[in-house]
Structure 1
Amino acid sequence: MFIVSVCSLKGGVGKTSVTLGLASAALHQGVNALVIDLDPQADATLGLLGEPGSSTDVAEVLSSPRTETVDRAIIPAPWSKDSSSHLDIIPGSHRSVLVDSPAPKGREVRRLHDALEKRTHRYDVVIVDCPPSLNGLTQMALSASDRSLVVCEPGFFAVTAADRALKLAQEMHEGDLAPRLKPLGLVVNRYRPRSVEHQYRLAELRDLFGDLVLEPVIEERVGLQQAQGGAVPLHEYQGASGERLTQDFDALLTRVMDSRQDS
């Protein structure tokens, strides 16, 4: 099972949008996927289900990582109703903030890893939507993951935030808290190509992080928000910007799946 954490240092960069774009691409490409909503705001749950989760959620999974708890928490997303592949979700919950310690101990960090080891379902990829911080929940995700995907905007704070997120992943790997973890790279989101500031910041990110800045850069387009507002997969969105967005997320998912060969 290949696990990818989608994380960021700060909110408002479109981390959940990237998660949902990848989930839509997975359905489009026939990839069986599980989304785990670790963000206490539970926006990925709302985007995939059209309503807050009402069954066993991720907070219960982390508190009691038994096989029956994990299997009960996994529910099919309506998006995959007529698809040849399936997309499931472990819903998020505000209650998960209770285990989001700023300095978790080693055993606490492995809670998600232990839970996923006990599931009976099989997936091609697991996508974990992390909280907008580097506290306990994000560290749990990184500990269980094969790859980390850092989402950032081309703004003034992007360099510092991206650097801290990448360093945390490296420290956890070197400290044996995340033995399989490798950085997949930075996803630059909400890019406005006509903005001189965005052009400058993107060039700055590329100068500092090189090949870790992934292609494609995701441009700011209204279609992404409109698809989420309708709780429909991006690949079913019929607006003018839909085609470009679906191409970008298809390419990004392909990069994610190809990285399995680097294990």
Structure 2
Amino acid sequence: MSKVIAIVNQKGGVGKTTTSINLSTAFAAVGKSTLLVDLDPQGNASTGLGISYRSREEKNIYKILLSSENKLIGSAIFDIKEIPNLSLISSVVDLSAAEIELSQLERGKFVLKSALEKIRDNYEYIIIDCPPSLGLLTINALTAADSIIVPLQCEFFALEGLSHLVKTVELIKRNNLNPCLVIEGILLTMYDKRNKLSKQIKNDICQYLNDKVYKTIIPLYETIIPRNVRLSEAPSHGKPAIVYDLKCPGAQAYISLAKEILRKHASGCQEKKLVSEGIV
């Protein structure tokens, strides 16, 4: 059964796109058929996978969301040749106007969900790279997703906005837009072990989450993404860090994250099976 995961944080510069690209690549590298949906008008995930602006003019998420071509979503997918098992639906700058257009549609919050349902069974994982806001594009992602991952930068103000995001998730659930949506986990990014502030922020976040704010259990991943030069360089070469420099700490961290998530999902599936069989 496929799983749709949205990478969400309304703050910019926290590592959403880096996480989307490299987590998708890591899933693909271990044989999981994976689709990355670039839902950010900046299109950095598309650029980071080497898809040129010209190539995106005819095949992009904007055409899928806001035209009758929703039915032809399969024809808008790029297969990433350098990375077997990885595909992409790209973004264009026109997507920045999509929120106004979506707001005029009767079911404007469900357009992405409707489109992905047509191809969902073709993939084991669908990763959605969200824009740095909680507008209608992100609401579409939250409505379409099974779960979300929230990257948090290990710097001052890291927790700023997390409470708002948690409230948005609860609102999505209460209003029956997506009653089963869960927060998959919080991912600490840009961690510098040489920096005392990074360590303090890490401790603060752990304490904050252990208090079970808003009566919601929000898991914190064991994997921490380090601040890493090669990880930052990779997008300018149109490659994920895992392809650009597999041995760099950033690439290795995302491989570790993928393994952690896969273990968690495998454990969850086994537990559901035992429950269904009346064993537990």
Q: Tell me whether the two structures share a fold, i.e. TM-score over 0.5.
A: yes
Distance in structure 2 (CA, Å) of the matches to 1:20 and 1:171: 28
Aligned to 2:123, what secondary structure does the other structure show?
Answer: coil
Aligned to 1:158, what secondary structure does the other structure show?
Answer: coil
1:194 aligns with 194
Give 1:121 deviation, angstroms.
6.3
Asked if 1:15 corresponds to 2:16, the answer is: yes
Distance in structure 1 (CA, Å) of the matches to 2:137 and 2:261: 22
Give 1:39 deviation, angstroms.
0.1
CA RMSD of aligned residues (A): 2.3
**Does the 8 Å CA contact 1:24/1:234 hold for their aligned counterparts?**
no
**Does the 8 Å CA contact 2:102/2:108 hold for their aligned counterparts?**
no
**Aligned amino acid, residue 206 of structure 2:** R
Describe the superposition over 1:74-95 as per-residue Cα deviations: whole angstroms up to 9, x where unpaired. 1212332xx3xx2111111111
Structure 1 residues 25-34 or 98-107, which shifts more? 98-107
1:99 aligns with 98
1:90-129 aligned at under 5 Å gives the runs 90-101=89-100, 104=103, 107-119=107-119, 122-129=122-129
**Does the 8 Å CA contact 2:63/2:70 hold for their aligned counterparts?**
no
Q: Report the CA distance shift for 1:186/1:160 in structure 2 as closer, same or farther (over 3 A).
A: same
**Aligned amino acid, residue 99 of structure 1:** A
1:45-64 aligned at under 5 Å gives the runs 45-52=46-53, 53-64=56-67
Q: Normalising by structure 1, what TM-score?
A: 0.89
Distance in structure 2 (CA, Å) of the matches to 1:47 and 1:120: 23
Aligned to 1:187, what secondary structure does the other structure show?
Answer: strand
Describe the superposition over 1:102-136 as per-residue Cα deviations: whole angstroms up to 9, x where unpaired. 99587211110011112376001000000011111
Describe the superposition over 1:23-69 as per-residue Cα deviations: whole angstroms up to 9, x where unpaired. 22122211110000000000001111342223221011111365642
**Does the 8 Å CA contact 2:231/2:251 hold for their aligned counterparts?**
no
**Does the 8 Å CA contact 2:185/2:219 hold for their aligned counterparts?**
yes
Q: Report the CA distance shift for 1:121/1:70 in structure 2 as closer, same or farther (over 3 A).
A: farther
Structure 1 residues 32-41 or 218-227, which shifts more? 218-227
Counting matched residue pairs gives 257
Distance in structure 2 (CA, Å) of the matches to 1:231 and 1:66: 28
**Does the 8 Å CA contact 2:74/2:119 hold for their aligned counterparts?**
yes
**Does the 8 Å CA contact 2:242/2:252 hold for their aligned counterparts?**
no
Distance in structure 2 (CA, Å) of the matches to 1:22 and 1:109: 26
Distance in structure 2 (CA, Å) of the matches to 1:30 and 1:226: 26
From 228, 235, 238, the equivalent of 1:231 is 238
**Aligned amino acid, residue 152 of structure 1:** L
Which runs of no fewer than 5 residues in structure 1 stay unpaired? none
1:72 aligns with 75
**Does the 8 Å CA contact 1:103/1:135 hold for their aligned counterparts?**
no
Aligned to 2:7, what secondary structure does the other structure show?
Answer: strand
1:132 aligns with 132
Give 1:245 deviation, angstroms.
2.5
Which runs of no fewer than 5 residues in structure 2 stay unpaired? 211-217, 273-280
Q: Normalising by structure 2, what TM-score?
A: 0.84
**Does the 8 Å CA contact 1:149/1:184 hold for their aligned counterparts?**
yes
**Does the 8 Å CA contact 1:4/1:148 hold for their aligned counterparts?**
yes
Aligned to 2:159, what secondary structure does the other structure show?
Answer: helix
2:276 aligns with none
Q: Report the CA distance shift for 1:102/1:209 in structure 2 as closer, same or farther (over 3 A).
A: farther
Give 1:6 deviation, angstroms.
0.4
Distance in structure 2 (CA, Å) of the matches to 1:103 and 1:75: 24
